[in-house]
Structure 1
Amino acid sequence: MKPLVSILIPSHNAAPWLAQALDSALSQTWPHLEVILVDDGSTDETLTVASQFDCPRLRIVAQRNRGAAAARNCALELAQGEVIQFLDADDLLAPDKIEQQMALVQAHPDCLIAGAWARFRHQPQTAIFTPEPLWQDMDPVDWLVCAWSGHWMMHPAAWLVPRRLIRAAGPWQESLSLNDDGEYFARVILASQGIRFCSAARSYYRSGNGSSLSGRKSAEAWASQYRAISSQCQHLLAAEDSDRTRQVCANLMQRFIYEVFPAVPSLRNLAARQVRQLGGATEKPMGGPCFQLAARWLGWQQARYAQLFINQWGYRRVALGRMVPKPNGEQGKSDDGVPLQEEPQWQES
């Protein structure tokens, strides 16, 4: 009997995309699989869309809204498979994705199997698969150092995970929202004996979804990002405490400082302290040619303020000089909608 593969799909208000995701899961050429959909308190037609799929291999479970990590943990508890495929409700799998990777799972049962992936907005036919440095066999620490150094990623659906690695890594951290997948897969990667890459296994990552968790940048989301990065660094340094791992962790924290500025200064202060403890960062702020020119003359913080100002008022208004003052009492916000006045104070755990 071929091993059972469990495809786990968390969903929350995913009605516009869910049918495509379920089609891609149920159309897999690997014959022995189950699909578990855990709806996380949707208020749209997500459950109605799911219920239209009359398939004995699909199990639908509804829970109150507790977050994507909690929905994935619920699905893991229900899953019977020896191998786990995570799939977000707006992403897609190529029909033979799992079958292509299962050959490597069976040959390397203690390894984590990665696959090629590409972004798309509306139709997967528009996706362009462009090889990246992570698209190769690598040791766990080497993989994380490469990913964090080069700003590379592997979205959850690209992986195929033997159940033994799931057990070794532990559950998803339900207190996290932003970057919960980065924190989780850092633990899975380090629990493995290495990454094996399958170029023929393809998945599709939907970009431009305005409801995506990765696009939410409230103070609470930034706090989640900080906690996730701290956890990632702790796990990496526990596996290898060396000059290269301390440097890549410092740079990861410094990148967080650049991204969050000027919001939540208390979090930035915590991150800056960690950067100093790790020996300092070499990471430079990212931005286009105009930003880099301004940063050289004004410093990156003033350049960032200028960037936010232009984003807030719009290039058109700046060009035409039509500056309209804010209504009385309106609170100032950054470009991501985070209020710049009162903020919660966060402490390291």
Structure 2
Amino acid sequence: MFKLVITVSLKKELPLQWLKDRGLTILTTQAIESGALKGLDTKKIKDPLIVVTGVGPQQANRAAKAIATNLTPLFVLHIGTCGILRKDLPLRKWLRPRWLSSSCSEELLMIDPRIPLPVYTDLTDIRLHEVSRPFRGSLDGIDAVDMECYSQARVFKQAGISFHALKFGTDYADHNRDNQYHESLPVLHDAIKQLFSFLDGQFAGEDVSVVIPVYNRPDLVKRAIDSVLNQSLSPGEIIVVDDGSTDNTWEVLKNYKNPIRAIRLEENLGPSAARNKGVLESTGRWIAFLDSDDYWKEDKIERQLEYLKRYPYFEILQSEEIWIRNGKRVNPCKHHKKPEGWAWEPSLRRCLISPSGVMMKRDIFFRYGPFREDFPVCEDYDLWLKITRGHPVGLEPSFTVVKYGGHGDQLSRRYPAMDRFRVKSLFEQFEREPYPEFREKLKEVINEKLKILYKGYKKRSRWEDVKWCEQIWQRIGYEKVLVENL
């Protein structure tokens, strides 16, 4: 029902009417326990759900258990206030709890630093300590105090629900605490409005630019273009980039009129360059990609925009696909199941996001892109890896994309050792990753893929490539003796 649940301690810490005016459901813990969720119209509800928990560890624990029992969210985000114990931290700014402790437990919790909302301000990581009553003073090694985050984190950890937190420093936990808190509330309301500004997003067909790269596929690209022209909700523009075709593809494209914009590259530069050119020429706030050998069912755009209206915090989403191989429909393996929510870790070993199913904000593309033009393959894997590290991915469940494979001109057939490009992408992300738990996950997958490449290179006496593998191992911290024992 709800994919994102927001928890907050007190109604007075929310711009309540502003949120209600934008269609959000706000419930108390007691309402959830009493079955209020059953009375909601599931076709009309809008994410996220806001749960007012009440103050203190016991109330926080109770609320978290009610959520875990009655809902199956992808993630829970706790938003609340805190008293700052370090005077070098500014008041009235968002802080990101990274380590949680409690007066009632010796266990130190470390929570996921990612935020499942569009947040583009710098956040300071803090150690947050939970107390059972209002606190004044200082604590060694503690940056801030609150009365609820630890208790919620512990419940959601046990339930296997992704938990995240943002705290707003309202006071310095000193003699002036109460005055500072009340003076900070209007600022907090404005900060929440800014944080939830995605609720005012517009999702209309004219906001979508479709980008189709093509090389030497005159018949297939016609099918792809026609599938976009036949959409139940028309996009604002369709940009087709001919990547230096040597057959009659350009002649086919020239026959199309508005809303088709055909662009011709003078030479064959690859799908990355063609997609990048299409996005640069686009004007829509949302970009939808379509490979020239695939096509869309007639309601693909409409269903994706309906999904975004219901879950407006997603900045990238994809649709489910029908797979056709050598002219026959096939069922994808379980390990190709498309993830929803945090897609980064499931996508490390293989690409689980298909360009033809993707719709993404144009701003996101330019923040993390473009597609790498030095990668002949796996250019999409590389970009999705960068984006999904900090952004959840929506999944519109309708099978509105028809994806074809098995034909001879697919680039994947010309590059059987595609994992070399994946390793390069993984290693570059490893080098810039600040958080140790994410570095360890990258390290594990790099090692798995390097083992396979290394054995193949040694078997074929490709000694320069063997040396490259050894250098990567060394850079990620593997001892040479471990490499030599493979």
Q: TM-score, normalised by structure 1?
A: 0.68
Shift of 1:5: 0.8
What is the aligned counterpart of 1:63 among 238, 252, 265?
265
Which consecutive residues of structure 1, in runs of 5 or more, have no partner in the other structure? Answer: 282-300, 302-349
CA distance in 1, matches of 2:348, 2:407: 24
| Equivalent in the alignment of 1:164 | 363
Asked whether the equivalents of residues 210 and 235 of structure 2 are also in contact (C-alpha less than 8 Å), the reply is no
Task: Answer yes or no: is the 8 Å Cα contact 1:247–1:280 preserved in 2.
Answer: no
- 1:181-260 mapped onto 2 (5 Å cutoff): 181-192=380-391, 194-217=392-415, 226-235=420-429, 238=433, 240-242=435-437, 243-257=440-454
| Structure 1: distance between partners of 2:462 and 2:319 | 36
Which residue of structure 1 aligns with residue 319 of structure 2? 115
CA contact (8 A) 1:116 1:203 kept: yes
- Report the counterpart of residue 214 of structure 2 in structure 1: 11
Check whether the contact 1:93–1:204 (CA below 8 A) recurs between aligned residues.
yes
Displacement of 1:239 = 5.9
Letter in 2 for 1:198: E
- Aligned residue in 2 for 1:43: 246
Q: Quote how far apart the aligned CAs of 1:259 are.
A: 6.4
The 3 A distance-change label for structure 1 pair 82 and 258 is farther
Q: Label 1:129 to 1:146 Cα distance change in 2 as closer, same or farther (>3 A).
A: closer
SS of the equivalent of 1:144 reads coil
Q: Deviations over 1:116-146 (max 9, x none)?
A: 12321465x835467656434222xxx2322
Query: 1 or 2 for the larger relative contact order (CA 8 Å, sep ≥6)?
Result: 1
Q: Distance in 2 between matches of 1:137 and 1:214?
A: 25
Q: Offset of 1:273 from its aligned partner?
A: 3.3
User: Cα 1:85–1:217, aligned 2, differ >3 Å: closer, same or farther?
Assistant: same
CA change 1:217–1:245 in 2 (3 A) is closer
Distance 1:266 1:207, change over 3 A: same
CA positional deviation for 1:268: 3.5
Query: Where does structure 2 lack aligned partners over 5 or more consecutive residues?
Result: 1-201, 480-485
2:419–2:449 contact (8 Å) kept in structure 1: no
The one-letter code sitting in structure 2 at the alignment partner of 1:60 is A
Residue identity (%): 20
SS of alignment partner, residue 153 of structure 1: coil
Please list the CA deviations of residues 290-311 of structure 1 after superposition, one character each: whole Å capped at 9, or x if unmatched: xxxxxxxxxxx9xxxxxxxxxx
Say if 2:471 is the partner of 1:273: yes
Q: Are the structure 2 counterparts of residues 156 and 100 from structure 1 closer, same or farther at C-alpha, using a change threshold of 3 Å?
A: same
Pairing 1:56-205 to 2, within 5 Å after superposition = 56-65=258-267, 66-106=269-309, 107-121=311-325, 126=329, 128=331, 134-139=337-342, 143-149=343-349, 151=350, 153-192=352-391, 194-205=392-403
Tell me the SS of whatever aligns to 2:389: helix
| C-alpha separation in 2, matches of 1:33 and 1:122 | 33
C-alpha separation between the residues in 2 aligned to 1:264 and 1:85? Answer: 40
Question: What SS does the corresponding residue of 1:80 show, helix, strand or coil?
Answer: coil
Please report how far the alpha carbon of residue 280 of structure 1 lies from its aligned counterpart in structure 2 after TM superposition.
Answer: 5.6
Question: What is the distance in 1 between the residues matched to 2:209 and 2:295?
Answer: 15
- SS at 2:471 equivalent: helix
Q: What is the CA-CA distance between 1:277 and the residue it aligns to?
A: 4.2
Letter in 1 for 2:425: S
The answer to whether the Cα contact below 8 Å between 1:7 and 1:85 also exists between their aligned partners in 2 is yes
1:154 CA displacement:
2.5
Which structure shows the bigger proportion of residues in strand conformation? 2
SS of 1:160's equivalent in the other structure is strand
Distance 2:330 2:295 in 1: 11
Question: Does structure 2 retain, via aligned residues, the 8 Å contact 1:8–1:84?
Answer: yes
State the shift of 1:276 in Å: 4.9
Distance in 1 separating the partners of 2:435 and 2:304: 28
Distance 2:247 2:275 in 1: 20
Asked whether the equivalents of residues 212 and 241 of structure 2 are also in contact (C-alpha less than 8 Å), the reply is: yes
**Cα 1:249/1:120, change in 2 over 3 Å:** same
**SS in structure 2 of the partner of residue 147 of structure 1:** coil
Q: How do 1:323-342 and structure 2 match up within 5 A?
A: none
Q: Secondary structure at the match of 1:145?
A: coil
Change (3 A) 1:114 1:259: farther
Superposed displacement of residue 169, structure 1: 0.7
* CA RMSD between the two structures: 2.9
Cα distance in structure 2, aligned partners of 1:110 and 1:236: 25
Equivalent-residue separation in structure 2 for 1:122 and 1:51 (angstroms):
30
- The verdict on how the C-alpha distance between 1:215 and 1:197 changes in structure 2, with shifts beyond 3 A counting, is same
SS of the equivalent of 2:320 reads strand
Letter of the 2:397 counterpart: S
The change in CA–CA distance for 1:190 and 1:15 in structure 2 (over 3 A counts) is same
After superposition, the C-alpha distances for 1:240-282 in whole angstroms (9 at most, x for unaligned) are 432333212322333444666637442243124323543569x
Give 1 or 2 for the bigger CA radius of gyration: 2
Q: Distance in 2 between matches of 1:267 and 1:17?
A: 37
